[in-house]
Structure 1
Amino acid sequence: MSGSRGPALADPVVVAGRTAPSRLMFGPHETNLGRGRSLTRRHVAYYERRAAGGAGLVVTETASVHPSDWPYERAPLAADCGPGWAAVVDACRPHGALVLAGLGHAGSQGSSAYGQSALWAPSRVPDVVSREMPMEMEDAEIRALRDGFARSAALAVASGADGVEIDAGQHSLLRQFLSGLTNLREDGYGDDRARCLREVLLAAREAVGDGHVLGLRLSCDELAPWAGITPEQAAAVAREAAAAVDYLVVVRGSAMNVSATRPDLHTPPGFNEELCRSVRTAVDGAALVVLQGSVVDPAQAERAVREGSADLVEMTRAQIAEPDLLRLWRDGRAERIRPCVLCNQKCRVRDNRNPIVSCAVEPRSGHETEDPAEAGRDARVLDVLVAGAGPAGLEAARVLALRGHTVELVERGDRLGGGLLRAAAVGGRDRFGRLVAWWEGELRRLGVTVRTGVALTQADLERAAADGRAVVVATGSVTGPRDYGVDEGGRVLDVAELLDGRDLPDGPAVVFDPVGDGVGVGVAESLAASGRPTAIVTQDPVVGTQLALTGDLADANGRLQRAGVTLVRRARPLVVGREVVVEDVLTGVTSSLACGVLVHCGHRLPDESLTAPVVAGDRVAPRTVHEAVLEGRRAALALAGEGR
């Protein structure tokens, strides 16, 4: 890093006269950690953990500034957040982090299901996602909005916060005023679409005063140049806003492309860097500029700061995966940073199930108040044999070793990773492979004995138990049931065999995907990309229905169509031969598809070839990597006499 021009990520930065200990931001995001519409002790522990790990600025979950806004069931309401903000400040202050209260109003992108009143919007333009028609705000509502931001900002600083961040990003009413997509007004707020934002910022500045931080999250590209906010328009807005604010967070997206701000692993990390650089050039030092956009590698963040793309970097998902990210980076231990794979499986929580924010590879995230810390030494040292080195076995071995136990990890394959290796082999999901390398490094550091290419028997486990060793079985899964017939000449290959490297016979491929996650979609994409005629069959009306939870549903269907994959929806296979006979699940009408091989991407069953009192991961029930890691961790803590 010698010879670099700018500051380092771990260097302090002064914002509105207040010094943040680093240039790393933990940004606002939905958590579902609330009770009612208040922040709770779970929020406090969640934010404190990131402050302890080195975050310089912590921005709390965006709170609605007016009761007309209730975008999701556990969305905070600023008027109810005073005690919560104070508690977060008290917890984070010993670590030096600046705490900012996120403030916003979702407008037409909210929900009327909870408040049971019409949604507010600049104009009567139905939201493209909910299809709900909002009311058009009159002067009284605009005044109430402006006053709501001012009152909320005043409450935040009175509660001890270092300042506030105003949301004019993807899910915000202020963005809707700025955009020609949603602002069709013919009054002064339409002739000058930045007027509402300007008034809010001036009111918020007056409320917090010059001694507190005022930040702005600004959508700088709606990816809809025919009417939406363009980078050129955003640069002008940013230049004007910089006179009132201390920092700007550059984001992209709108209601028309909800995956654009927080895309999954198919979008390269740091996708906003050029946009951020252009905005930073436009404001010309009048305000600090923050890079946001799937930045998960501290080396990339460091380059962005040193080379002048940004003054600070938001790495929210990366810090959900690794709360100690900055501390490890600063101490020269980057190899120990648990990688964020950008899968969105557990950190994207705005859906009607109200899941608690967490991480597919760090299940303690979001559960800091009830999940014991994994580090520390147990008084009684165990000798533990872990059978199976998929994610459950790897995590069990790691946590046990962290607590001072003697651990031997045995894998029948020639490589560690188990199902993670298959996940990484699915098209577009190679980032999962980084987890295997991280676990390998951690096990080496902790002195775990690792043996590969060894197939344990039940007798081996029984002998180990007789010798006083504790045993954890994490042997994974096997092919599940199939409810279709196979005629002579029909070829069926389980997806695990394909991902393990088995060659496919010639001819068209038919991917049967009764699960609807990223596996079937990724396999179909890869097969089509190799030049093979490919179809994907699902019983659902949309391919990859479970991808709605990660934000990839629309993008995945677009990728499939661009790749030339034939989408066979509302269908199930009846017989596989040289053709596949499929039946429409609604009408019962049958049709045929040319088929050289059917790739079965269905559910799997536990591998019960070995058993012990403690089992984990797919050996319990095959699910996602999150459940495997969580159960590996729980198995380790249960053996140590702890755990939830």
Structure 2
Amino acid sequence: MLGEAVRVGSRIAPSRVLFGPHVTNLGRGRSFSERHRAYYAARAEGGCGVIVCETASVHPSDRPYERAPEPGWAAVAGSCGPALLLASLGHSGSQGTSAFTGRALWGASRIPDVVSREVPQVVEQPEIDALVAGFAAAAARAVADGLDGVELNAGQHSLLRQFLSGLTNTRTDAYGEDRTLLLRQVLAAVRAAVGDAVVGLRLCVDELAPWAGLTPEQLLPLTPKLRDLVDYLVPVRGSGLSVSATRPDLHTPPGFNRALAGTFLGRGLDVVLQGSVVDPGMAEAAVAEGFALVEMTRAQIADPRLVAHVRAGTPERIRPCTLANQHRARDPRNPLITDEAEPRSGHETLDPPLPHAPRPRTGPPLLVVGGGPAGLEAARTAALLGRPVRLLERADRLGGMLRVAAALPARGRFGLLVHWWARELERLGVEVQLGVEAGPADLVGDVLLATGSVPSAPAFEVGAGVRVSSAAEAAGAYGPGDRVVVHDPIGDWTGVAVAEQVAAAGVPCALVTPDAVAGTQLSRTGDLADANARLERAGVERVLFARVRAVGGGRAVVEDVHHGAIRELPATLVIDCAHRLPDLRLAGHPRIGDCLAPRTVHEAVRDARRAVGC
């Protein structure tokens, strides 16, 4: 069912899978680019049915991030073959930034944004008329440029949502008496502008703030008024108070919006299921339940050929999506969109594609030493390129540090990658030997070293009476009667996850960090506030602006990073979450992954492909 064609308005989509709008930073300035074209074309080639482009601002007052596109889709039109290509249209209103325009933000009411704290200009009738005209003109241009239609954003980061919500609309005029008025005016203008082209609506139906925000009960009566205006509805959740709720990380179960979106089934509208749907089985079940389309955006960033594998009856070959959000593009650093285990995503114009089927074995044999992410991907890539490959791993299981990470709370999806690599190596005929410690005598011919990392020496004085463990060796190192201090000088997910694991075992725990907030780097994944809330609920003491200076005698000596004040924490075990260092026991051959430098999964995979010539 997932791979079958389906009618969407007046058009036919080749499958029931939708690739939703998201920030990519692939633009050339504010224009869609060749990189956009290649990015969308790869998903169309992989069988996606409906592709919705990155949201374009419909009025010059809106510039939510540096490379936010403006209307103009010539660079991507005609690039997606049978897939329907739609333009996402929006205005971020008070959730934008005035940094680029130097002008006041637009808002429904004079209510400061909860993130920027900036107070917007209240739009009056002239601005409202310009906004409606901007949506209509952008929609007409999209169709004139050759796209199949448009999708309007009334979800997260949306002025249309802000007009709908009691959280942000306290007006006393017609747009306050009927908060749906602006949305209906925009939809009517867009439908008139595009004729029978596809019109979709991404609509926030739950702001997770029932005291004043949108709820399904408020919006269900709107659906009869939408039947003649839109061809499909994408119910989503989240507001300025809960930005991470729209595309949460791996702490939130896949398919989290299924019940919410299901309340809109059977009301005369085609409904799209959105919400971390990454498993084809879940998507098939949603179609059987009555959903017209299923949005699988992050799943297709991880594997553009998802639908092709479903059609071929090989869903086990789909590269898993970790849902870790470690490569979100809506970030002040302007990173390009990509995936943790598929670095070619977002780099289609730069990185050559790997063959879908293995080439005949004609290349020289390759020995890969190490079965972590770098070694696994090097073996897989080399085998696809036609080389006989042997992989040696000293442990009794594959995965390296990725397997350790997968054992931490809510990070089990990283383990799916290990299982996927193992299946791929078996399918490609790679000889894998476990429990084999390679020595210098084994390093004959073409060799790649992917031997991983070792713990760094503690950056603090260690005395008697306190045990010290690295994060990788901490599991099972504590028990009843222990007092654990987690030393987190990096501020990524590791220290937070280790502290959660300790607390879940009922062991008292303190997290020591030099930063102003625990897990400061989690702001990049959207998990920062949620992570600190979890630590609070678990009873983890957060010791901020501090570093461990010495341990011993049942105490950890902690120093304030600003004024040097000293305090002591009770400690029988200190878990040091500092960077690991390369394992240099073998030498004389190219290195990839952690034995080169501390690497993420993404960096390890890229190392591996470059090392084997791809």
User: Would you say the 8 A contact 1:582–1:592 is kept in 2?
Assistant: yes
Counterparts of residues 319-358 of structure 1 (less than 5 Å): 319-346=300-327, 348-358=328-338
Distance apart, 1:9 and its partner CA: 1.4
Distance apart, 1:505 and its partner CA: 7.9
Of residues 436, 454, 457, the one that matches 1:481 is 457
User: Tell me, which stretches of 5 or more residues in structure 1 are unaligned?
Assistant: 1-7, 638-642
Match of 2:74 in 1: 83
Other structure's SS at 2:100 match? helix
* Pairing 1:219–2:201 present: no
Other structure's SS at 2:300 match? helix
Match of 1:313 in 2: 294
Distance 1:432 1:51 in 2: 27
- Alignment CA distance shift 1:62-1:516 (3 Å): same
Match of 2:400 in 1: 418
Match of 2:14 in 1: 21
Distance apart, 1:119 and its partner CA: 0.5
Of residues 125, 145, 155, the one that matches 1:169 is 155
Other structure's SS at 1:114 match? coil
* Pairing 1:44–2:30 present: no
Match of 1:280 in 2: 265
TM-score, structure 2 as length reference? 0.98
Match of 2:541 in 1: 566
* Pairing 1:266–2:251 present: yes
Distance apart, 1:89 and its partner CA: 3.0
- The amino acid that maps onto 1:544 is G
Distance apart, 1:152 and its partner CA: 0.1
Other structure's SS at 2:366 match? strand
In the TM superposition, what whole-angstrom CA distance separates every residue of 1:207-264 from its partner, at most 9, and x where no partner exists? Answer: 000x200000000100000000011112223332233100001110011001100000
Distance 1:531 1:82 in 2: 56
* Pairing 1:524–2:502 present: no
- The amino acid that maps onto 1:82 is W
In the TM superposition, what whole-angstrom CA distance separates every residue of 1:535-570 from its partner, at most 9, and x where no partner exists? Answer: 111000100001000000000000000011111111
Match of 1:455 in 2: 437
Distance 1:47 1:530 in 2: 45
Distance 1:583 1:378 in 2: 61
Of residues 424, 429, 445, the one that matches 2:411 is 429
Distance apart, 1:497 and its partner CA: 1.0
Match of 1:59 in 2: 52
Distance 1:512 1:238 in 2: 53
Distance apart, 1:82 and its partner CA: 3.4
* Pairing 1:596–2:572 present: yes
Of residues 83, 86, 91, the one that matches 1:100 is 86
User: Would you say the 8 A contact 2:480–2:507 is kept in 1?
Assistant: no
Counterparts of residues 366-515 of structure 1 (less than 5 Å): 366-375=346-355, 377=359, 381-461=363-443, 464=444, 469-499=445-475, 502=477, 506-515=481-490
Distance apart, 1:518 and its partner CA: 1.0
Match of 2:2 in 1: 9
Match of 1:554 in 2: 529
Distance 2:564 2:250 in 1: 37
Match of 1:640 in 2: none
Stretch deviating more after TM superposition (573-582 or 39-48): 573-582
In the TM superposition, what whole-angstrom CA distance separates every residue of 1:504-526 from its partner, at most 9, and x where no partner exists? Answer: 58411111111111111111111
In the TM superposition, what whole-angstrom CA distance separates every residue of 1:72-108 from its partner, at most 9, and x where no partner exists? Answer: 0011011xx2322xxx231212xx1000011100000
Other structure's SS at 1:498 match? coil
Other structure's SS at 2:150 match? strand
Stretch deviating more after TM superposition (213-222 or 603-612): 603-612
Match of 2:139 in 1: 153
Indicate the structure with greater helix content.
Answer: 1
- The amino acid that maps onto 1:430 is G
Stretch deviating more after TM superposition (578-587 or 44-53): 578-587
Distance 1:529 1:488 in 2: 27
Distance 2:488 2:351 in 1: 35
In the TM superposition, what whole-angstrom CA distance separates every residue of 1:478-514 from its partner, at most 9, and x where no partner exists? Answer: 1113221112112111111124x55558411111111
After superposition, the CA RMSD in angstroms is 1.3
In the TM superposition, what whole-angstrom CA distance separates every residue of 1:402-460 from its partner, at most 9, and x where no partner exists? Answer: 01100001001111100110110111101100101000000000000000111111232
Distance 1:398 1:611 in 2: 23
Distance 1:64 1:571 in 2: 43
Distance apart, 1:615 and its partner CA: 1.2
Counterparts of residues 116-265 of structure 1 (less than 5 Å): 116-209=102-195, 211-265=196-250
Match of 2:596 in 1: 620
- How many residue pairs are counted as aligned between the two chains? 611
User: Would you say the 8 A contact 1:217–1:250 is kept in 2?
Assistant: yes
User: Would you say the 8 A contact 2:485–2:511 is kept in 1?
Assistant: yes
Other structure's SS at 2:112 match? coil
In the TM superposition, what whole-angstrom CA distance separates every residue of 1:563-591 from its partner, at most 9, and x where no partner exists? Answer: 11111111111111201111111121111
TM-score, structure 1 as length reference? 0.93
Distance 2:87 2:433 in 1: 50
- Alignment CA distance shift 1:456-1:506 (3 Å): farther
Distance apart, 1:380 and its partner CA: 5.2
User: Would you say the 8 A contact 2:479–2:507 is kept in 1?
Assistant: no
Match of 1:579 in 2: 555
Stretch deviating more after TM superposition (503-512 or 129-138): 503-512
Other structure's SS at 1:259 match? helix
> Which consecutive aligned stretches of 4+ in structure 1 deviate over 3 angstroms post-superposition?
376-380, 501-506
Stretch deviating more after TM superposition (559-568 or 607-616): 607-616
Q: Among all aligned residue pairs of Structure 1 and Structure 2, give the percentage whose two residues are the same amino acid.
A: 58
